[in-house]
Amino acid sequence: MSAWDDVRKAIDAADPDLTARLVTALDEPERREVARELPGALKAVRSASRFGFLEGESQEALLLAGAATISGPAAAAGWLCRRDLRMWWARDGFAGPRAALCAVTADRPDAWRAEVARRVAARIRVSEDTWFLWHLAAALTRSAGAPPPESDGFVVGWAAEGGRPGELAEDPFLKPLVPRLFEVDGVGAALAADATRAHSGDWHEQTWVGALASLARGGRLDRERLLDGCVGRFLRGGTAHDLRWFVRLHAELDPTGDEAAARVRDYVRLLPVAPSTVAELALQQVRRADDLGRLDAALFDEAAGALLFRPEKKLLRAALTWLDRTARKRGRVDATLRAVTSLFASDALDLRERAVKIAAKHASRASGPGRAEVRDAAAGLPAGLRAAIAAAFGEVAAPAAPEPVPEPPPFVPRAWPAPIGSLAELAEEFAALMHTTMDWRPVERFLAALVEFAYADAGAAREALRGPVSDAAPWLAEPKVDRYARVRIEDSWVQFAVRCLFFPGTRHRRATRLGSLFRRLGESPDGRIPQMERFLHWRMRGIGSDLGRTPLLLATPTEGSGHLDPDVLLDRLERLAEARVEPAPPDLLQALLRLPREIGPSAAARAAALTSKAGRSAASWLARGGLPDPAVECELLDVPGGTARGGRYGRPARLPVGVRSTVEAPGDPDIAFLCTFPEEGRTRFTPLPYHGLSGFRPSILPSHREVTAAQFLPHVAETGDFDWGLGSVLLDLAEADGPAGTATATLLAHALTSPYEQVRTDAVGAFLVFSARGALPAGETGAALGRLAVLGGVPLPRIVRVLTGAADAGAGTEVWAALA
């Protein structure tokens, strides 16, 4: 029996410990023999596995055998980096495989291990989250006593996975890699969560921000280099998310006035186009330098000009405060007036008013040319503001033509994306969905394609997805998963469907009725997930159950609003009838609920000719004219709702007021179960689940947005610690159809008064869409805003700012209607 026979048996037995003992005992000829046989063994083990995916023990055994026997550094690194040998996650950072790798390569020269580590590190791709490779490269580097690789992927891996903030002082990678944190794209995104922990103050020293700042205070790291690194990273640009961690580190370092003055030119360069968080930071440092008298006239002009052309009102207000307070103190009244007049043309009335007030305040110190500039700039101001400038600076010429009355921008509906046309595109879309927040439109598009490709050739679909699944979600192809992975799968439409593709035997049995499915779960009414989420789970299970058995999905929308063209639905029903397939009940129901409110008689006549069970259901639906508008009532209560006193996990609720919504929808049992609200027996409305399905709600009833709003409201009123995608929900409701009454208005008022800036921005966008479509419930929105101000303690300036923004964007008439 040869040495390879013993090693092969250990590999076949998926025994990494025995494999390691055997390969470390081999002499050089035996190692060459084993190395020569390994590729064939890998192929054989893959062929014997289900769908070609290896389990962890088999991967580790093969990996160790190659590391111990392959002689060339390039070939050894190539073996270690094989996609089918990558392990996806381990709670202890792959401590076992790392230790075994060091053991089986202990007799290799240090230079060999360092070179293998460098080559493995060079293959780490930030976008793929291949941190297993990072751990291998780091283990070999440390065992060789070599300097760490400085490739981009290795640096991001150190930040995301390998470095331990509480142990950085003893980390041999610290000094070589810290400068690279500011040079490598991807570090900021990897450390975004660290920025949140550092900001919260919990375990501050256990964050990268706290640890690096502490090491700088202790002299282990050069403080000046850290500050220069932050500023340099800001100058390279990026999104607010990419730069958030660097902003937090810069704030923790807290530059002195002299340090700010030494970098003031760089801070000024950041003001025009940097993300708002960076621009705010830069303005603070510019003002520090200015307080020391170290901001010359040219830099002041550049800074003021850059700031006053930014879109963020918070920055503009801060800039105006700075200009006002320093105009006389620094002897630059003319320069200040020249800067503030740029806001005379602003769309925001409050900013125009403040700019006029500042100009009038400093008029007595202005020079003749400066006064003339202000008068010229004031010609386009409204009459009242022109009069204020004329009183301070002299007569101002009237505008040549009357000002046009602004209107909301025209509504342009979102188009539905083109269908996925190939298996390669399907794989790309899966990889993209695994790295983004789930949005219902790309998810629906992906599922429609997956169903069609799985029906045509399930094996080809599995093969196309094998690579991206291995990279982004390997647990989907593992026969056994832990509870954490199982919960993730069952809360994700995409993951659940792909899991069903790889393991058809795990599919759930079809449930014919929505209510019956969840009655079997035995939940109490207050403990159940909300009805619309349950409907989404019902449909998700139906798609998984029918994968490979049905040629298409009926309910895939044809419009960005979520609506489905009636003729397209009839085409799909005819295709199913030809294939002798009945659709899953939730797929058929969802398709019918997505039909538009107005349907021509030709569609009903065509449907009457259908003979399948689903076709007859569709014909009956069309003959009845679809779902009548359910009766909806909604009101704000002046007492707290179910959990409003404490919010979730002890955090404050959004509002100290409750919301009562009722919806009545008699008729079909499933529709009644979906629409009637609250569910019988429910008395409390807990915060929405965090898996993101709440964002899918508007797509369920795109012709009945008032029902969606009424069911969403009580849960949102209980939730003050997250926004749960409220802004995007409002944008979808604005694009949907159906009555927009008190529930829609109250939900819009909640979003307009949200503590989250992005939610308020999206809400203003929804306000404009409602206005442009003539669907804004103006009176109800105004009444809800008033009730929230009185009962909920919403700051009045917040309401004024958001309505001013809507008016400035063209919805002035609608704003006044809301306030009437």
Q: Do residues 618 and 639 both lie within one domain?
A: no
Q: What is the pLDDT of residues 217-275, one digit of tens each?
A: 999 999 999 999 999 999 999 999 899 999 999 999 999 999 999 999 999 999 999 99
**Phi/psi at 661 (5° precision):** -125, 140
Give me 453's structure tokens: 């490709």
Mean of pLDDT values over 317-333: 95
Range of the domain at 781: 632-819
Confidence of residue 663 (pLDDT cuts 50, 70, 90): low
Q: Do residues 614 and 742 both lie within one domain?
A: no
Q: Do residues 647 and 720 both lie within one domain?
A: yes
Q: Do residues 620 and 679 both lie within one domain?
A: no
Task: Report the alpha-carbon distance of residue 498 to residue 503 in Å, rounded.
Answer: 9
CB 426 within 8 A of CB 442: no
Whether 365 shows a pLDDT value over 80: the answer reads: yes
pLDDT at 69: 94
Does 438 reside within a domain? yes
Mean of pLDDT values over 764-791: 93
Q: Do residues 738 and 597 both lie within one domain?
A: no
Domain count across the chain: 3
Please report where in the chains the tokens 């009123």 appear, as a residue: 717
Does 290 reside within a domain? no
Q: Do residues 608 and 661 both lie within one domain?
A: no
pTM of the predicted structure, to 2 decimals: 0.64
Measured between alpha carbons, how far is residue 782 from residues 358, 631, 749 in Å? 32, 22, 8
Who has greater pLDDT, 535 or 511? 535
Among 134, 162, 190, identify where a domain stops: 162
Q: What is the pLDDT of residues 559-581, one digit of tens each?
A: 999 999 999 999 999 999 999 99
Among 576, 592, 624, identify where a domain stops: 624
Side chain identity, residue 773: R
Q: Do residues 582 and 669 both lie within one domain?
A: no
Does 487 reside within a domain? yes
Beta bridge partners of 637: 658
Task: Report the alpha-carbon distance of residue 715 to residue 649 in Å, rounded.
Answer: 15
Please report where in the chains the tokens 């930014």 appear, as a residue: 310
Write down the mean pLDDT value for the chain. 87
Q: What is the pLDDT of residues 34-82, one digit of tens each?
A: 999 999 999 888 877 766 667 778 899 999 999 999 999 999 999 999 9
Q: Element (H or E) spanning 547, and its range?
A: none
3-state SS, one letter per residue, for 352-375: HHHHHHHHHHCHHHCCHHHHHHHH
Confidence of residue 197 (pLDDT cuts 50, 70, 90): confident
pLDDT at 612: 95
CB 133 within 8 A of CB 162: no
Please provide the DSSP assignment of 162-222 as one string: I--GGGGGG-TTHHHHHHHHTTSTTHHHHTHHHHHHHHHTTTGGGSHHHHHHHHHHTTSS-
Cα dihedral 333, 336, 338, 343, rounded to 10, equals -140
Q: Do residues 437 and 506 both lie within one domain?
A: yes
- Three-state DSSP at 484 gives helix
Q: Do residues 456 and 578 both lie within one domain?
A: yes
Q: Do residues 646 and 617 both lie within one domain?
A: no
Whether 180 shows a pLDDT value over 50: the answer reads: yes
Name every residue whose Cβ is closer than 8 Å to that of residue 338 and which is 6 or more positions away in sequence.
301, 370, 373
Q: Do residues 609 and 736 both lie within one domain?
A: no
Does 740 reside within a domain? yes
Q: Do residues 745 and 804 both lie within one domain?
A: yes
Does 208 reside within a domain? no
Confidence of residue 505 (pLDDT cuts 50, 70, 90): low
Cα 677–chain centre separation: 30
Does 209 reside within a domain? no
Whether 655 shows a pLDDT value over 60: the answer reads: no
Name every residue whose Cβ is closer than 8 Å to that of residue 49 and which is 6 or more positions away in sequence.
55, 58
CB 243 within 8 A of CB 188: yes
Does 349 reside within a domain? no
Give me 791's structure tokens: 């009962």
Does 538 reside within a domain? yes
Among 624, 659, 692, identify where a domain stops: 624
The C-alpha angle with vertex 668 and arms to 663 and 669, in degrees rounded to 5, equals: 80
